[in-house]
Amino acid sequence: MIQTQETERTKLDSWMHSLEYLEKAGKRLEIQSACSESDESKILAMTACRQDIYFFFENFLWTVDPREGMEPNHFPFILFDYQKDYIAWLLERIKAQEDGLVEKSRDMGVTWVTMGVVYWAWLFEDIFTGTIGSRKEDFVDDKTIKSLFGIMDYFLITTPTWMLPPGFTLNRHRSHMRLYNPSNQNILMGESANKNFGRGSRNTIVIYDEFAFWEYAEDAWLAGGDATKTRIAISTPCGDNKFKRLRFSRKVPVKTLHWKSHPFKDDAWYEKERARRTDEEVARELDISYDMSVRGRVYEEWMHVPFQVFKYNEELPLFCSWDFGGTDDTAIIWWQIDFETGKIYILDCYWNHGKTIGFYVPFITGKLTVEEEYAYSKKDRAVIEAHKDWKKAVHYGDPAGRSRNQVTNTSVLQELKKYKIHVLTNTKANEWEIRKTHTKLLLRNVVCNDNQRTQYLSECMKNAKYPEQRDGTVISRKPIHDWTSHFRTAVEFFAVNYEHTGRGTRTRDTIVGKAKEVRRLASATY
């Protein structure tokens, strides 16, 4: 680590003593000295900054590298060529009113440059509004330079006071996840990842930082589209998710910022970084690799599940598996099985957060009263409508659904029974190793319907991981509990409850008997 930083410090020193840097630094000092001596120079500088963003960066912005060994840590923001190219690309997206995606290696200064562009627009554009987000609130604004608004604070305190908007004060116009310009009414708002990210206001730009790591990424991307013409997704890769699908959709312009573009990084630097990182980290943080950036997958078998577009088949039995959420998501998956071929079809899925169990009933029954419609989004109502002609299903779920709520003194299973939905459970599902074994067998025969909701289910299955140490050593035999867990366990509950029939020869009597059993189980439901 120290050796790597020493190398970077040496290269930084070499750059700061280069003819190009010395000329730019000298020009910067001349301009700032002139501005300190005359109002006319200030006016000229303000005009130049408004017309030329590169002039603004290199003559008035500062940046910081807080790492030990990089003292004095604060540096004039003299741009590298790849950073200038990125600024031009980003401004073009804003001008063209179109989305964009930035895939990058780590430590390329992308966040600082992006915030610099936004800060420049906040200062000088006549009309500019933006929503800036990351996966956690602290990453958006924790009042330090580790956060997005913390970077903006650094710009504010290092910008000459005469360049700030007339009447601007930090106490009045900078609040938590909010920055207001009293001169031109430009405003920047912060927000953490959520399903309605960016929705509710009109924006010049909406920025999704670290987008490959966002929960509810699909919903957040769609919500932002209601607020702006320019959504910018920025991230290092992390497996198969919305960021990857967007990257290869050919629907958005892509900007690639690889470590090889950085003048301080060479093959020797890369080899030193490889020596101190896992293969997964190298793939994700350095190589911009999507296929290799998730290590320690729980279900490698899912990578071979085929995706096809198909519809509900009334000739096949219908199943439904649940993962009940309290403060977490509730996830539901609909299945159909062809006992003759052994194929197991994932037909559809649905998930939501913070809803009572009764909220999910219309998705099962396909029935929604006029009085209930206000509680469901347009997307929700479309799913309910699609299920209205489906036959009764056999329901499988988590044995923990028997636990009683301390407030209502009833369990989830009891609540569902009020709607004549009887969920079958299996105590074997309490054992992780049993769930895993059954699921791995099940996935050999699974075919998944291809729609927006099942794509999110797929992201969960592909990104479910075991916890690991830096060297790749697995430190627990149980998967990490995170955003992937709800659909993963809904799959597992189905696997444990469903008797695997994808092996061996099935006689006609066996098939008929299985079909009768399914009809018997389904008859107990609504």
Using H for helix, E for strand and C for coil, what is the string for 155-209?
HHHHCCHHHCCCCCCHHHHEECCEEECCCCCCEEEEEECCCCCCCCCCCCEEEEE
Tell me whether strands 74-76 and 205-209 are parallel, antiparallel or unpaired. Answer: unpaired
DSSP structural state of residue 468: B
Architecture of the structural domain at 60-286: 3-Layer(aba) Sandwich (3.40)
Amino acid at 334: W
Q: Which amino acid is at 218?
A: E
For residue 479, which amino acid is it? Answer: P
Which option is the CATH number for 300-522: 3.30.1490.20, 3.40.640.10, 3.90.180.10, 3.30.420.280? Answer: 3.30.420.280
Residues 487 and 298: beta-carbon distance below 8 Å: no
SS3 of residue 439 by DSSP: helix
pLDDT tens per residue, range 50-107: 999 999 999 999 998 876 655 667 889 999 999 999 999 999 999 999 999 999 999 9
Burial of residue 279, with CB atoms counted within 10 A of its CB: 0-12 exposed, 13-18 middle, 19 or more buried: middle
Integer angstrom CA distances of residue 308 from 245, 340, 347, 446: 16, 19, 10, 11
Distance (Å) of CA 262 to CA 5, 57, 89, 94: 15, 18, 17, 25
Contact 192, 133 (CB under 8 A): yes
Joined tokens for residue 490: 């809904």
How many helices (H) does the chain have, and how many strands (E)?
20, 17
Judged by DSSP in three states, 334 sits in strand
Helix 39-51 / helix 19-37 crossing angle, nearest 10 deg = 130
The residue ranges of every structural domain in the chain are 60-286, 300-522
Please list the pLDDT of the chain residue by residue as tens digits (526 residues).
445 555 677 787 787 788 888 899 999 999 999 999 999 999 999 999 999 999 999 999 999 887 665 566 788 999 999 999 999 999 999 999 999 999 999 999 999 999 999 999 999 999 999 999 999 999 999 989 999 999 999 999 999 999 999 999 999 999 999 999 999 999 999 999 998 998 878 899 999 999 998 988 988 999 999 999 999 999 999 877 899 989 988 899 999 999 999 998 988 888 988 888 877 788 888 988 886 656 678 998 998 899 999 999 999 999 999 999 866 789 999 999 998 888 999 999 999 988 888 899 999 998 887 667 788 988 899 999 999 999 999 999 988 888 766 556 678 899 899 888 999 988 888 899 999 999 999 999 999 999 989 988 998 898 888 886 544 555 677 898 888 899 999 999 999 987 644 443 344 444 445 555 555 655 555 4
Which residues have a Cβ under 8 Å from the Cβ of 82 and sit 6 or more positions away?
A: 108, 257, 261, 262
Residues of the chain by 3-state class (helix, strand, coil), percent to 5: 45, 15, 35
What is the Cα 477 distance to its own chain's centre?
Answer: 26
Q: What is the pLDDT of residue 372?
A: 76
**Is the backbone peptide bond immediately before 317 cis, with ω within 30 degrees of 0?**
no
Cβ 233 vs Cβ 210: under 8 Å: no
Give the N- to C-terminal CA distance of the chain in Å, as an integer. Answer: 62
Residue 162 CA, distance from chain mean position: 39
Which helix (H) or strand (E) covers residue 344, if one does? Answer: strand 343-353
State residue 403's pLDDT score.
Answer: 78
- The beta strand positions in 362-483, using DSSP E, are 393-397, 423-425, 446-449
Question: Are 284 and 238 spatial neighbours (Cβ–Cβ below 8 Å)?
Answer: yes
Radius of gyration of the CA atoms of the chain, in A: 28
Residues 506 and 350: beta-carbon distance below 8 Å = no
**β 74-76/254-257 pair status:** unpaired
DSSP 3-state of 19 = helix
Go through 179-207 and write b for each residue having 16 or more CB atoms within 10 A of its CB, e for each that does not. Answer: bbbeeeebbbbbbbbbbebbbeeebbbbb
d(CA 93, CA 231) in angstroms, rounded, equals: 9
Q: Which residues pair with 188 in a beta bridge?
A: 130, 179
Calpha distance 289→189 (Å, rounded): 32
Torsion angle, alpha carbons of 428, 431, 432, 434, to 10: -50
Per residue in 368-402, pLDDT (tens digit) is 876 677 889 888 999 999 999 999 999 999 888 88
